[in-house]
Amino acid sequence: MRKLPPRQRLSGTFRVPGDKSISHRALMFSAVAQGQSRLRGVSQGADVRSTRRVLEAAGILFRDEGEEIVVDGRGWNGLDQAGDQALVECDCGNSGTSARLLMGLLAARRGRFRLHGDASLSRRPMKRVTGLLSQMGARFEGGDCLPLIVQGSALSSVTLSTAVASAQVKSALILAALQATGTSEIEEPAASRDHTERMLVAMGAPLQSTGLRTVRVEGGGAALLPLDLDVPGDPSSAAFAIALACLLPGSHVTVEDVSLNPRRIGFYRLLSRMGARLEFERAGQSPEPIGSITAHGSLLHGIDVAAADVVDAIDELPLLATVAAAASGPSTIRGASELRHKESDRIATTAAMLRAFGASIDELPDGFAIAGGTRFVPAAVDAHGDHRIAMSAAVAAALARGPSSLTGGEWVSISYPGFFDDLERLSSQP
């Protein structure tokens, strides 16, 4: 059990771990590139380590050289040597990104790959990926959830529309389409994160975005160029200290070298709508826009968040609900039913956590109704195996009038192992 103290203000400059979404992709795409890639700033969180572990099980060689990870890519066929094994065990841990992207990556490779994970991941739906990949000729053994077996097979091009705007679903389809015969077109109901497209285009992949919601992919297994990449900081990890700085009068913090990808900073746009004083400074692009975000103590008010706002802020919605509980006036968050299928049912666990701290919050089928103006009281809460709930609880506890406690604080290691240390350091600055 971890003690969570109240906090008066935050001050200072900090950096966060490498972006988790970009780190997953950098490891996977380097594994099938033609040549040696060098990656710096890769997230050391448990989810990304799961991706590396699976790729190593499939025969990919990684070397740690100081701050760099060196990946010896041997093209798409580099994964085929696993076909000499009767069954390749692929332990995805708690990582839905690992499982879903690997389905597309492995669908055309020679061999049988058994994807499995922990109890939480084994409850998360996979049919949204396997059902679409099956239209390309991919073969799977299993049901809607892990464990399941990917049986490598020849793939054909498709033209299809996905039911949900999901970067994981889209990325799995793109990876499969690159290995299929012919040209595929993938359309989403709304634009999702574009890390996959940005990175693959930089590696020479034959794909292009035709509008905000459609990607055209040329199959045939064209060779990918190796990467020389500095992974930017994760804006989802930075959001917790930035939000808390806005909530604590007199605070002033800056996060440096963080991704400013427009598809990743939807939470910050919503925070600005609530009255937050935020400053963004662009510093470069390769292939992601990178820069700094500065936050000041602010007077925040409630807002209504619609489905169109959700896709670019889905990971931060438990935190947004926490901010809304502290802000003046009511807020609603709708169109977020996807939260029911994360590491926990994040609608239920967020509402329970905030009620424990004294908030008035109602669960909706697809979000929350939050009264606002909470006078936070000390509480004993549980992370429910979810890193986002654990970090949101630390923000709520910082606003309470006495010390609180958290069971399951170790789950922050999924994405941000140094979270509590960084929060303590920012709290102790003069």
Residues marked as catalytic: 315
The continuous run of DSSP H or E covering 49 comes out as helix 46-57
Give me the DSSP letters along 350-379.
HHHHHHHTT--EEEETTEEEE---------
State how far the Cα of 31 lies from the Cα of 99, in Å rounded to an integer.
Answer: 16
Question: DSSP alpha helices (H): ranges in 221-328?
Answer: 235-247, 266-273, 307-310, 317-326
Structure tokens of 9?
Answer: 């203000």
Largest Cα separation within the chain, whole Å, is 62
What is the spatial distance between Cα 350 and Cα 414, in angstroms, rounded to a whole number?
A: 18
Strands 148-151 and 112-116: antiparallel
What is the rounded CA–CA span in Å between residue 97 and residue 20?
Answer: 9
Q: 326-352 in b/e burial notation, b at 16+ Cβ within 10 A?
A: bbeebbbbbbbebbeebbbbbbebbbb
Residues in the chain: 430
Task: Compute φ and ψ for 125, nearest 5 degrees.
Answer: -70, 135
The CA distance from 180 to 184, in Å, is: 8
Among 256, 257, 303, 306, smallest CA distance to 276 is for 303
Q: How far apart are CA 123 and CA 302, in angstroms?
A: 33
Nearest Cα to 313, choosing from 388, 422, 256, 382?
388
Distance separating alpha carbons of residues 96 and 21, to the nearest angstrom: 11
